[in-house]
Chain A
Amino acid sequence: MTQQLDYLKETPSQTAGPYVHIGLAPGAAGFDIYRQELGWDIAGPNAKGERIRVEGVVIDGMGSPIKDVMLETWQANSEGLYAHPEHAGEVEDGFRGWGRVITDFDTGEWGFDTVKPGPVKLPDGKVSAPHISLWIVARGINVGLQTRLYFEDEAEANAADPVINLIEWEKRRQTLIARKTERDGKTVYRFEIKLQGPDETVFFDI
């Protein structure tokens, strides 16, 4: 008899569906139920570093903005530290580094306020360029899509980033770079996510 390995099997993913807001952003579904919804304040009031806004749309294979997307964001603080016990170092009180963002039902626009993350030192001596990890779910997406947002004004760090350099096609690397603009004196980064087509955003299996 062959000996069996005793690993369990993962629970398979299913789409979040069109009514994801009921569970994860009930105010947007149209009702008030929780004392506080989670994920609206990413950096907290005490975070050091540059305050920025990040905005964009998610475009489907027909070129249309998707209006029922939920994104989650995960990032380090301005010193490149994650709010997690496996990453040594203290983050500012109230800094969670995680956010939950939904698109506008009419326009498909999404956006969030945060601080610009710092570069992250990796144990092998390499450095991750400043980036925000994004996880995208929606009706029609069977497994959440993972991508990363990098910053246009970090060209030198981006050129040395170990993940960007894993992408064989230089043209595709550009899909991960958010474009810097300014509005009312505030720095805004624009990041359009294209789910499908010739200029499709790079998605990762992490």
Chain B
Amino acid sequence: MKPGPYYQWDRRLHPPAKTPDYKTSVSRSPQYSLISLETSINEMTGPRFGHNDIDPLDNDLLGNYAKPGESPIGERIILHGRVLDENAKPIPNTLVEIWQANAGGRYRHKKDTYLAPIDPNFGGCGRTLTDENGYYYFRTVKPGAYPWRNWVNDWRPAHIHMSIFGSAFAQRLITQCYFEGDPLIPRCPIVQTIPDPDAIEQLTAKLDYNGTIPLDTIAYKFDIVLRGRRSTLFENRLEGN
């Protein structure tokens, strides 16, 4: 069996383009329907990355921006999980990139002017390749909530932005990982762009007590599922181009 075209996106799991409670989406959402394509070789391919592209320390946000002997302030966490497709097949050697605010909810970005201070030992970005079983992990601090100009008193739940490539341009995904039990999750207009409560639950990293390192670092587990693909069952059948 050869791998074939990708299953169609389940557009009902993803947020629609226009979600007025998230105000910026109103003027940035297409009003016409998307044109549906069968995936062809143009999108069944995508960029590939190797260990030459990144450094081993890139997945350690406790160390990748800290001065020697120092460490960022905040709750030390491991964020780990697997990248799978809808067939539960692991996606190996794929690039996972993350970015986040520091423990006080402040981003190291020239456009962020929130009054919570920058942490001199925390950059806020990391990247890694999944291993042969689709497994990834990062060390970081748990980010803080922060306010944003949407409604006048809106606060984002603690979250880590995640970018995942998969094996093909057709799988490219950016999402956000939230933390189990955060009472800001149901109040957030960005979280609530997602219509399906089970899908929101899927964006919530679970406390992973077994993954915790005693006296050192708490662990959260977050698995990512990208589109799966059909198998070409019969060799004499045209593939999906």
Residues of chain A whose beta carbon lies under 8 Å from any beta carbon of chain B: 6-24, 26, 29-31, 33-36, 38, 60-62, 66, 68, 72, 74, 76, 82-87, 96-98, 105, 120, 122-124, 126, 128, 131, 133, 135, 137-145, 163, 166-167, 172, 195-197, 200-206
Chain A minimum-CB-distance residue to B88: A8
Bound CA span A34–B95, Å: 15
Asked if A166 and B45 make an inter-chain contact with CB atoms under 8 angstroms apart, the answer reads no
Interchain CA distance A184-B58 in the complex, whole Å: 40
**Do residues A128 and B28 form an inter-chain contact, with CB atoms below 8 A?**
no
Q: How far is the CA of A200 from the CA of B84 in the complex (A)?
A: 35
B235 to chain A minimum Cβ distance, whole angstroms, is: 13
Task: List 16 A-B pairs, Cβ < 8 Å.
Answer: A19-B107, A21-B109, A22-B108, A23-B125, A24-B163, A72-B172, A74-B42, A122-B241, A137-B174, A142-B25, A142-B29, A143-B14, A167-B35, A202-B32, A203-B35, A205-B34
Given contacts A12-B202, A38-B53, A133-B169, contact A138 B176 (CB under 8 A): no
Q: Is the CB of A196 within 8 A of B107?
A: no
Q: Are B125 and A33 in contact (CB under 8 A)?
A: yes
Which bucket holds chain B's interface residue count?
Answer: 35 or more
Closest Cβ–Cβ distance, residue B134 to chain A (whole Å)? 12
Bound state CA distance, A29 and B115, in angstroms? Answer: 17
Contact of A195 among B11, B29, B123 (CB under 8 A): B29
Contact residues, B28-64 vs A (CB, 8 A): 28-32, 34-37, 39-49, 53-55, 58, 64
9 interchain residue pairs of minimum CB distance: A23-B99, A140-B24, A98-B47, A84-B45, A140-B28, A142-B15, A61-B27, A82-B45, A205-B34
Q: Which of B24, B64, B191 is in CB contact (< 8 Å) with A139?
A: B24
Partner of B27 from A68, A144, A196, A201 at Cβ < 8 Å:
A196
Contact of B175 among A14, A68, A140, A203 (CB under 8 A): A14
A-B contacts besides A23-B127, A87-B45, 15 pairs, CB < 8 Å: A7-B86, A10-B10, A11-B224, A13-B15, A19-B111, A23-B161, A29-B107, A33-B125, A34-B55, A35-B55, A60-B28, A124-B238, A142-B193, A167-B35, A196-B30
Q: Are B29 and A196 in contact (CB under 8 A)?
A: yes
Tell me whether chain A's interface is mostly helix, strand or loop, or mixed: loop
Contacts of B123 in A (CB 8 A): 22, 26, 31, 33
Pairwise interchain contact B42-A120, C-beta atoms closer than 8 A = yes
Please determine whether B199 and A105 come into contact, CB atoms closer than 8 angstroms: no
Q: Which residues of A contact B184 (CB under 8 A)?
A: none
B125 surroundings in chain A (CB, below 8 A): 22-23, 26, 33
Contact with A along B158-179 (1 / 0, CB 8 A): 0001010000111011111000
* The one of B65, B190, B203 that contacts A33, using a Cβ cutoff of 8 Å: B65
| Minimum C-beta distance from A54 to chain B (A) | 17
- Which residue in chain B gives the minimum CB-CB distance to A163? B37
Q: Which residues of B contact A74 (CB under 8 A)?
A: 42-43, 45-47, 169
- Asked if B224 and A120 sit within 8 Å, CB to CB, the answer is no
Q: How far, in Å, is B213 (CB) from chain A's closest CB?
A: 25
**With contacts A14-B190, A14-B193, A140-B25 known, is A8 near B42, CB below 8 A?**
no
Segment 101-135 of B: residues with Cβ below 8 Å from A: 107-112, 123-125, 127
A22 CA / B88 CA spacing, docked (Å): 31
Contact A120 B41 (CB under 8 A): yes
